[in-house]
Amino acid sequence: AAGIPVKERVKVSQNWRHGRCRREAVLKWKCKQVVFFLLIFVLLMPWMELDGEYLYLSQAENIQAYPLCPEGAGLQRHPHAIFSGHQEDVCRFALVNSHIVSGGGDGSIVLHKIHGSYSVKFSAHEQEVNCVDFQGGLIVSGSRDRTAKVWSLSTGRVGQCLHTVQTEDRVWSIAISPLLSSFVTGTACCGHTSPLRIWDLESGQLLTCLGTDFHRGAGVLDVFYETPSLLLSCGYDTYIRYWDIRTSTRKCVQEWEEPHDSALYCIRSDMNHMIASGSSYYGVVRLWDKRQTRCLQSFHLCSPTSSPVYCLRFNTTHLYAAVASALHVLDFTA
Q: Which domains does the chain have, with CATH numbers?
A: 25-274 (2.130.10.10)
Element (H, E) at 13: helix 6-18
Checking if the pLDDT of 118 tops 70, the result is: yes
Predicted TM-score (pTM) of this structure? 0.94
Q: Report DSSP letters for 292-331, one per residue.
A: -SSEEEEEE-S-SS-----EEEE-SSEEEEE-SSEEEEEE
pLDDT tens, position by position, 159-184: 899 999 999 999 999 999 999 999 99
Q: Using alpha carbons, select from 208, 305, 228 the residue that is nearest to residue 271.
A: 228
- What digits encode the pLDDT tens for the residues 13-34? 999 999 999 999 999 988 766 6
Residue 5: Cβ-neighbour burial (10 angstroms; 0-12, 13-18, 19+): exposed
Q: Express each pLDDT in 231-243 by its tens digit.
A: 999 999 999 999 9
* pLDDT value at 50 more than 80: yes
